[in-house]
Amino acid sequence: MKRAFKDGLKGGLKTALYALALAAPAAAQNLVIVNARVIDGKGGVIERGSVVVRDGQIASVSAGAAAAVAGAQRIDAQGRTLMPGFIDAHRHIVQGDGKDWLAKTAPAQLQEFLDAGFTTVLCAICPDEAVEMRNRIAAGTAKGPRLLVGSIIPLARAAVPGGGRGDPARFDTSRPPLRPTTAAGAIPDADTIKAVESVAARKFDYIKTVITATPGGPETQTLKLIVAEGKKRNLPTITHAVSVIDTLAAVEAMPAVLVHTPHIGRLEEDAAAVKRIAGAGIPMTSTLQVFAPHFSADNKPLFRDGQPFPWDTISSAGQGPVNARLLWEAGISFGYGTDTTWAPKQSLADELRALSLVFSPLDITKILGQGAGRSTLKGDLIGTLDPGKQADLVLIDGNPLADVNDLLKVVTTIKGGRIVSDRR
């Protein structure tokens, strides 16, 4: 009984530490950053501005020079650009064995995120070891971006795309001719509820679901059940839907986030679908680069699994951006996410190529800022430079409004008021 009490207390303390990390990071610095081009993440720009940070939060954002603050470190940006810390709202960070990742891979990998400017990362499908790393970062015993983690729950008894032969995006059952023509088997409600209870007990931040709606199948009803059961436990549901058909099926169940732009199906031919998806008020992540080739150092076009690019999927590289712009024009909240395993700076470069097809540099700063904050469901705390929000900031050696690729030139990253990477 005593041991159970201690274990429960320990788990409760870890959860409390994580919550406190969002509200008041430990060892935060007081900072005054002056002489910066301030891009606020929601469309505002101050050509010569200042930001004051107190106790890990943004205290003020203003034009011109800021008054001195006693005990604060003063940073002269020298005309560089200051933006909200980058957020990847859909990412896979753990490859292979979770224990090996935690012990060997995670420290260097998470530093890469900080060096590239990422202060928050949502890991969409994670093992329990990612929860442990999230807690260590929150407690200040490990260094890395703020981690938000999800665990997957199936919606139906369906075959694994591609028979488990590799990256499921290569053999996506949402894409004809692999799309199912008969109903998938239903999972008993009791089993689904137990799965939700397990995700909650293991202290994940989200439930992740993947929907491919089969004719007469159970997917939407099961998703409705997961959404409802998750809400009872303060556990939001984020849903993978990559076709217009599946996105409409997901919207019917009202998950908290749509974690992909639909890239299968032509929204320019379906104004009603655009209105229905955007009108639901559910944030969406970009992930446009998945079906655009990643080019290796020797100019080989690769898929996200590092294997040769599957050219039979290339239509999605154009359709995804088209659908994204149509949904943007209809008012959807659209946030940056990659759904990849490439190094964060490489992923950013690839996603910028795809986003730049249909979005301006200013639009992209909003997608990286306010949009990504909303797509993590933490937009009240991160994503924009507003007083009272977390002091997550990046200093960029360039002007991304003139050249969006200057977003790759991060020199200083500040997370919760602490300088965590500095190459000035």
Q: What is the DSSP letter of 185?
A: B
Distance of alpha carbon 92 from alpha carbon 83, whole angstroms: 24
Identify the band that residue 251 occupies on the pLDDT scale cut at 50, 70 and 90.
very high
User: If you average pLDDT over residues 181-210, what whole number do you get?
Assistant: 97
Q: Rounded mean pLDDT of the chain?
A: 92
Q: Tell me what percent of the residues of the chain surpass a pLDDT of 90.
A: 86
pLDDT confidence of residue 1: 38
List own/partner pairs for 102-110 with CB under 8 A and 24 or more apart: 102/129, 102/132, 102/133, 106/133, 106/142, 106/144, 107/142, 107/143, 107/144, 110/137, 110/142, 110/143, 110/144, 110/145
User: If you average pLDDT over residues 9-29, what whole number do you get?
Assistant: 47
Identify the band that residue 7 occupies on the pLDDT scale cut at 50, 70 and 90.
very low
Q: Tell me what percent of the residues of the chain surpass a pLDDT of 70.
A: 92
Distance of alpha carbon 400 from alpha carbon 361, whole angstroms: 7
Identify the band that residue 167 occupies on the pLDDT scale cut at 50, 70 and 90.
confident
Name the 3-class secondary structure at 194: helix
Distance of alpha carbon 70 from alpha carbon 106, whole angstroms: 37
Lowest mean pLDDT among 60-69, 218-227, 323-332: 60-69
Per-residue pLDDT of 73-121, as tens digits, reads 999 999 999 999 999 999 989 988 999 999 999 999 999 999 999 999 9
Identify the band that residue 44 occupies on the pLDDT scale cut at 50, 70 and 90.
very high
Q: pTM here?
A: 0.92
Per-residue pLDDT of 276-290, as tens digits, reads 999 999 999 999 999
pLDDT confidence of residue 160: 55
Identify the band that residue 17 occupies on the pLDDT scale cut at 50, 70 and 90.
very low
Largest CA distance in the chain: 69
pLDDT confidence of residue 11: 43
Q: Domains in the chain, start-ordered, CATH in brackets?
A: 1-85+384-424 (2.30.40.10), 87-382 (3.20.20.140)
Strand locations in 40-145 (E): 45-54, 57-63, 73-76, 81-84, 86-91, 118-123
Per-residue pLDDT of 342-361, as tens digits, reads 999 999 999 999 999 999 99
Dump the DSSP string for 75-101: EE-TT-EEEEPEEEEEE----S-HHHI
Identify the band that residue 165 occupies on the pLDDT scale cut at 50, 70 and 90.
low
From residue 176, alpha-carbon distances to 158, 199, 239, 413 in Å are 16, 32, 20, 43
Distance of alpha carbon 363 from alpha carbon 355, whole angstroms: 9
